[in-house]
Amino acid sequence: MKMEVSTEEAAQKWLATAQFREILASDTSHKSQFVLLSQESGELGILLLNKSPFSEDQSVISEWIKQARLKEISKNDIYGCYSIQVPVEFNLINSQLIYPATEKHVQKYRAEEKIVIRETPEDYEQITKIYIEKYQMNLQWVYNILEKKAEAERVFYEEACSEFGWILANDIKWDGVTKENLYCLAIINRHDVRSIRDLRGSDVDFLEKLRDKSLKVIQDKYDVPANQLRAYFHYQPSFYHLHVHFVNIKYDAPGQLVYAAVSIEDVINNLRMASDYYQTHAAVLGLGDSSYQKFNFAGKRLFRRLEQLGARMLTQLGLADDQHEIGIDGALIPWKEAVWMRLYEEKIFENMKLEVDPTTVIPSKFILEPASIGENLNFHEEDQEYRLLTAGENRRVTADDHFQVRKSFIFTLSSIYFQDTRLIRFSVDDKDSNFFSYNPGDVLMVWPYNNDESMQIVIDALQYSDDLLDRPVHIRTNDRYLNPPPKWLVGDPTTLRSCLRRLLDLQAIPRRTFFEVFASLAVDEFEKRRLLELASPQGLDDLLAYANRVRRTTAETFRDFPVTSKSIPPERLFDLLKTIRPRAFSIASSPVVQGNAIELLVAKVNSTVDYQIQDFLLNFRFNTSLDCQTQDEVSAVHSSRD
């Protein structure tokens, strides 16, 4: 009768007849070594060796100290260096024997030069995923553990569920006794999740349950508090079946480096932030101004961080510059074309069209609803972001004959500069004194409004009746992501005339997006064709010549396209026109000397060059038009530079 040979006896017999081939890898910091062995038949095997940690059992320590044999290496005063030979039973080596081993096993354990790479989802799809499918080793040993067909003695907890279950087992590198070296694995039951790349937002609840339950079970069984355990994934993992490492923070475990270990907390937070985080596509356009030293600092930093986190970048970083001849459109146009093309190529959105129909009219941002006659404005003054200030003084402080002739070294043209510097004094009511308290270095944010000339140009071009302009309306958003105009600025109910005066910027230089929207509203064929030319990337030179170089205002543009202008519905003005932005002015007065008053020193410079560029900047228009005799008012708020 043939007697069965135990697995231990079989391994002992195989090892006794094996021959040394080479050391595949050696780790002196963790006292481990991977040795390649072979039989005469050519069969390969790999022996994984790892020195056992010292026992903390006092009786064991006392015993091996008594039996230790010293051999002196050196002696200096009271300090002696010795090698100590301890009894065999106290000098065990943990080992793992893989036989018969394949070439895949050999490649896995052979030492290779390590480098740091940033794997994007695109790299994963085109490189890593193909590698996994082609070279992945047989995972039957993992399934055997899950089904308790092997290594059942290492499993100390099971969450029984085919889809959302897992087992907890002691890692082969841990002796199961020394708490300082505690090392456990949580292996999930699902076979379709190979790594964190396969996780989705729907897995967050499962991951949280696995984390919390595993930490509690380990604490109860081994008396190691949860706050002394690290829980992390490996990426790339040693085998592609999702598992979580639970390690005592005192133990310097292999693969615990920042580049290899990904905290389970980070994975959960990332999936909460975006359910497809590990498959995310991203594109970054930084909005900046090259006149500042840290040009587009935030955009550059965000782009680098997204790359580090593994986001799949649709295109290179776009750096928009407000100082560009056409503003941010100088970078936005090529960046948007590149992003649009990648979205189309990747088929991220079904039924996506490569060419955008410029005549497509999208819903307006706001809806104008008629208000009841006599309906009163209802809001609290203390909730206002800005308060009205009265201009008590507007005095010229520049000499009347001041001018300067300067030679331009850029254009070699003679230019004449006229400067008009004004001291403007605002009176602050006692009830607003706390609101406008300030310190040296603070600024006053002034909200300007459109002048009568621009207002009249636009009204004449739009051909709106006085009844339409002065009809009370409520402004409602047509998009849940938009905020309505501030009530303190235009009122609620408000009128279209009030919005044209205080809210919509009629003197801004129109940008390409203005002409895109304008063209979609055009009814005249000639005007539509001209507007589309100005809105197209190919018409950039025409746009610069028409708008930017001569600083043509939006109001003047309405006048140049009369047929289209008079057909614009009132609610479409909010799509066409930008909102007036407040301007910051340094406060020139002293809060101690002036008391309830704020003084600004504002200089307006008019320049005339050969190509007759005129400066129509809105924020300087009020400087010479404010009349202290009629008690003109402006909206303002104090803001600290801090």
The set of catalytic residues is 243
Q: Are strands 79-85 and 166-170 parallel, antiparallel or unpaired?
A: unpaired
Q: What HEC string does 42-72 produce?
A: CCEEEEEEEECCCCCCHHHHHHHHHHCEEEE
Per the document, the length of the chain is 642
Q: By the 8 A CB rule, do 34 and 24 touch?
A: yes
Rounded to 10°, the helix 525-535/512-521 angle is 160
What SS3 class is residue 589? coil
Distances (CA, A) of 191 to 81, 164, 165, 242, 318: 53, 11, 11, 8, 41
Question: Pick from 187, 151, 148, 141: which is nearest to 166 by CA?
Answer: 187
What burial class does residue 7 get, using C-beta atoms within 10 Å of its C-beta: 0-12 exposed, 13-18 middle, 19+ buried? exposed
Distance separating alpha carbons of residues 639 and 210, to the nearest angstrom: 49
Q: What HEC string does 76-87 produce?
A: ECCEEEEEEECC
Q: By the 8 A CB rule, do 422 and 623 touch?
A: yes
Distance separating alpha carbons of residues 9 and 95, to the nearest angstrom: 15
Please report, in angstroms and rounded to a whole number, the separation of the first and last CA atoms in the chain. Answer: 91
Question: Pick from 623, 589, 634, 630: which is nearest to 387 by CA?
Answer: 634
DSSP string of 464-498, one letter each residue: --HHHHT--EEEEESSTTPPPPPHHHH-SSB-HHH
Question: Pick from 450, 405, 411: which is nearest to 607 by CA?
Answer: 405
Rounded to 10°, the helix 264-273/204-222 angle is 160
Instruction: Work out whether the CA dihedral 89, 92, 95, 99 comes out positive or negative.
Output: negative
What SS3 class is residue 517? helix
> Amino acid identity of 241?
H
Mention every residue, 6+ apart, whose C-beta is less than 8 A from residue 27. 33, 254
Distance separating alpha carbons of residues 71 and 563, to the nearest angstrom: 104
* Rg of the chain in Å (alpha carbons): 38
